[in-house]
Amino acid sequence: MAYRFSPAIAKLINALGKLPGIGQKTAQRLAFHILDESREDALALADAIREACASVTLCSECCNLTEDDPCDICQSRTRDRTRICIVENPRDVAAMERIHDYRGLYHVLHGVISPMHDIGPEDIKLRELFQRLQTHDEIEEIILATNPTIEGEATALYVARLLKPSGIRTTRIAHGIPMGAALEYADEVTLARAFQNRQEI
């Protein structure tokens, strides 16, 4: 007979193993750590999960995760309300904000169009984007900042095509050699893109 963890421990290991990137072995290690060393921290984690799930919703404007609706960025009086940057998920908003360069608004798609995974335009927050554009005629520029993956590119092209009739300026973030990287190690697609989009200096 194989050694079986007691039901509550097995349940805990199983629940931890559902987190992304946490395999069975790591889940076991975490479970024993919780029970053996840090029950207080673990109970604080349980509370934090409950609290966050209860209080965090999507902003009705930009679909970012927020506790207040509209979110801080959509409510801010100091942001440039003529620009919307379209990103795939809330982590990308955090990444964009870290550059301290962009002062416009956001729209979070919560995914990308991916026929392979059966995700169509209606499965991401595109309807919300176009409703937003209809009620806000101050928008002058839409910046497409989806990831430079096949799906991210396709989604950007799809949105750009839908925006064409509106006459709103639509831009895509630049792709090229990352700063600090070496040409010789760049993949060909990136290098080709960097070459095509070369600029006067």
Footprint of its own copies (CB under 8 A) = 2-3, 5-9, 11-12, 14-16, 18-21, 26, 28-36, 38-39, 41-53, 55-56, 65-68, 71-72, 89-91, 93-94, 97-98, 110
Min CB(37)–its own copies separation in Å: 9
Burial label, 162 (beta-carbon count in 10 A; 0-12, 13-18, 19+): middle
Tell me phi and psi for residue 143, to 5 degrees: -105, 120
- Cα–Cα distance measured from residue 36 to residue 152, given in angstroms and rounded to the nearest whole number: 44
Min CB(128)–its own copies separation in Å: 15
CB closer to its own copies out of 8 and 189: 8
- H helix or E strand, kind and range, residue 170: strand 169-172
CB closer to its own copies out of 15 and 189: 15
- Cα–Cα distance measured from residue 63 to residue 5, given in angstroms and rounded to the nearest whole number: 42
Min CB(30)–its own copies separation in Å: 6
Min CB(169)–its own copies separation in Å: 25
